[in-house]
Amino acid sequence: MSWGFLRHLLSGVNKYSTGIGRIWVAVVFIFRLLVYVVAAENIWKYEHDEFECNIQQPGCENVCFDHFFPVSHIRLWALQLIVVSTPSLLVVFHVAYRENREKRHNQKLYKSPREIDGGLLCTYLISLILKTGFEIVFLVLFYKLYNGFKVPHLVKCDVRPCPNTVDCYISKPTEKMIFLYFLVATSCLCVVLNLSELSYLIFK
Amino acid sequence: MGDWSFLGEFLEEVHKHSTVVGKVWLTVLFIFRMLVLGTAAESSWGDEQSDFMCDTQQPGCENVCYDKAFPISHVRFWVLQIIFVSTPSLVYMGHAMHTVRMEEKRKMKEAEIEAREMKSSGDTYYQQKCPVAEKAELSCWDESGGKIILRGSLLNTYVYSILIRTAMEVAFIVGQYILYGIFLETLYICQRAPCPHPVNCYVSRPTEKNVFIVFMLAVAVLSLFLSLAELYHLGWKKAKERCSRSYKPSPSTAPGRLESAPQVERAQMYTPPPDFNQCLSSPNGKFISSFSNKTASQQNTANFATERVHSQEDATGEGPFIKSSYVESPEVANECAAPAF
């Protein structure tokens, strides 16, 4: 899975960010993207194959897995990374639009390209608010879907065609839980960074 | 294979601003940890659960036994170890970049203010010469953006980063020992519901895994040793500087004495760079006398700023810990030359 595009996008935004924005990019790259690519993907790689139910009834394992994992942790994690990085596109578009206008009119429309001013500041603030919002939405989604970031080693399933309440065993639950907590911690850190950047820009 | 380039790019920058020992540490990190982990260790642990066999037909028993035997897999543990051990260096890098940026901004502002003042003062000769000097001053700083001098608060950040790195290294080594001991056993006896009785479980590729475990442990100990060596190196240099400082009188105490100061000022981050001084101390005596008061007061301001920031350290003639920041322009090659490592 190629994350190069996202990396390119976030690196581009770095030029127009404040110091806290740069820290946010570093946190996203290292503690979220890198951990996802290098560690987390492999943990959840064979989650369906390794999901085992104490029953011979064909189809029971499939429906039980589907019941307990409507969207797998790892897919939700990937979606979160993509959605949370997307508001930075707004900043990139605005800068591109501005440069386009400068080229067309053949003059500098703003004081200096490095300073965040007026319209660009507004766009940047909106992107910050959106980023924070999406983070919180995904954290709440994780919480609701999986009952509070816990991964049990045993779940009881009585979905048809399972003939009775069946014991199903999840693979690597402890490791998954460790990395889920890691995800939550880094998300919260990113929320804190976004909020502090927001307050810094507003009260500057 | 994991893609470590996300971290690699950040660490490349750190590589430029490190001491010699720091560079060795980073090389060890890149080659012996990241590369080995990404290429060899990952494939060795690839089938760790699928080939984890328990002597039972009870469904679910293998899953729970594997989970009990390996709460976190070795490779994931090492990934977290590499990330947490690298993070303090990134914090130092952030501080260094921030310092460079602040310094650039300050110099630009100074240059702007001077240009405005000179324009209003009406000194035509200066107007001819000084923009060149200012440009040279700016370009000297910009060119040197690749190197930073380790002084004052930046040195403190560097030392703290090494200390935290050492602490992380120790924590992870101890953590690995607590979780798994040193070697992996072939047989793991598991007693956990729903296994009906104590069950024999067999780990896949234990010898190969042991080889990698020992290798990674050795590299971690080597990194720890390098970090401690770097701390000792920094501490020793600091003590040596303090001794030589208390022994010799400092040459930098006289304000306005610009010709003798370049070597000293080279070592300070908040004073005018030597290039600018060289412009002043050119053969044209007229040049110096026309605004020597201004530059003297500038020197005073700079000295006060330096004293405020570097509360404990004074400038010395000793070379800085890493390469000096100023790249020479042709006329001032000797003065601006940095002591090379």
The per-residue pLDDT for range B60-75, each reduced to its tens digit, is 999 999 999 999 999 9
* Averaged pLDDT for residues A57-73: 93
- Distance set, CA A197 to CA A91, A191, B121, B136, B278 (Å): 15, 10, 42, 35, 42
Q: Comparing A17-31, A60-74, A157-171, B293-307, which segment has the lowest mean pLDDT?
A: B293-307
Tell me if B172 sits within 8 A of B84, measured CB to CB: yes
* Averaged pLDDT for residues A145-163: 91
Average pLDDT, chain A: 88
Ordered by where they begin, the domains of chain A are 18-51+73-148+174-203 (1.20.1440.80)
Bridge partners (DSSP) of residue B201 are: B54, B188
Q: Least CB-CB distance to A172: which of B7, B10, B49?
A: B49
Q: What is the pLDDT of residue B323?
A: 42
Residue with the larger pLDDT of the pair A132 and B314: A132
**Percent of residues, chain A, with pLDDT higher than 70:** 94
- ipTM (interface pTM): 0.86
> For residue A44, what is the nearest residue in chain B, using CA coordinates?
B49
Q: Least CB-CB distance to A52: which of B59, B83, B86?
A: B59
Statement: residue A8 has pLDDT above 90: no
Q: Comparing A140-149, B173-182, B202-211, B308-317, which segment has the lowest mean pLDDT?
A: B308-317
Distance CA B324, CA A19 (A): 25
Q: Least CB-CB distance to B2: which of A26, A37, A170?
A: A37
Q: What is the pLDDT of residue B208?
A: 93
Tell me if B38 sits within 8 A of B16, measured CB to CB: no
Q: What is the pLDDT of residue A98?
A: 84
Of the pLDDT bands very low, low, confident and very high (cuts 50, 70, 90), residue B298 is low
Contact A172 B59 (CB under 8 A): no
Of the pLDDT bands very low, low, confident and very high (cuts 50, 70, 90), residue B248 is low
Q: What is the pLDDT of residue B302?
A: 52
Contact A54 B60 (CB under 8 A): yes
Statement: residue A203 has pLDDT above 60: yes
Question: pLDDT, tens digit, for every residue of B142-153?
Answer: 344 556 667 778
Statement: residue B251 has pLDDT above 70: no
End-to-end CA distance of chain B: give it in Å, rounded: 36
Residue keyed to tokens 């993070």: B87
Ordered by where they begin, the domains of chain B are 4-116+151-245 (1.20.1440.80)
Distance CA A29, CA B8 (A): 11
Q: What is the pLDDT of residue B124?
A: 54
Q: What is the pLDDT of residue A114?
A: 54
Q: Comparing A115-124, B107-116, B202-211, which segment has the lowest mean pLDDT?
A: A115-124
Q: Which alpha helices (H) appear in chain B, and where do they start and end?
A: 5-16, 20-28, 36, 42-44, 61-69, 74-121, 124-143, 152-180, 206-247, 262-266, 274-280, 285-290, 292-309, 333-336
Q: What is the pLDDT of residue B2?
A: 58
Sort out which chain A residues have CB atoms less than 8 A from B10's CB and list them. Answer: 26, 29-30
Pull the structure tokens for residue B81: 């170890």
Three-state DSSP at B252 gives: coil
Distance CA A201, CA A16 (A): 13
* Averaged pLDDT for residues B253-269: 42
**Environment class of B182 (CB within 10 Å of its CB; exposed 0-12, middle 13-18, buried 19+):** exposed
* Averaged pLDDT for residues B272-284: 42
* Averaged pLDDT for residues A187-193: 96
Average pLDDT, chain B: 73
Q: What is the pLDDT of residue B297?
A: 55
Q: What is the pLDDT of residue B229?
A: 92
Question: pLDDT, tens digit, for every residue of A11-55?
Answer: 888 777 888 898 899 899 889 999 999 999 999 999 999 999 999
Of the pLDDT bands very low, low, confident and very high (cuts 50, 70, 90), residue B77 is very high
Q: What is the pLDDT of residue B307?
A: 53
Closest by Cα among B118, B144, B195 to B17: B144
φ/ψ of residue A55, rounded to 5: -160, 150
**pTM for the full predicted model:** 0.74
Chains A & B: contacts with CB separation below 8 Å? 103
Of the pLDDT bands very low, low, confident and very high (cuts 50, 70, 90), residue B134 is very low
Q: Least CB-CB distance to A33: which of B6, B72, B87?
A: B6
Q: What is the pLDDT of residue A140?
A: 95
Statement: residue A80 has pLDDT above 90: yes
Which of A86-95, A118-127, B187-196 is the most confident on average? B187-196
Contact A34 B6 (CB under 8 A): yes
Tell whether the torsion through CA atoms of B65, B70, B71 and B75 is positive or negative.
negative
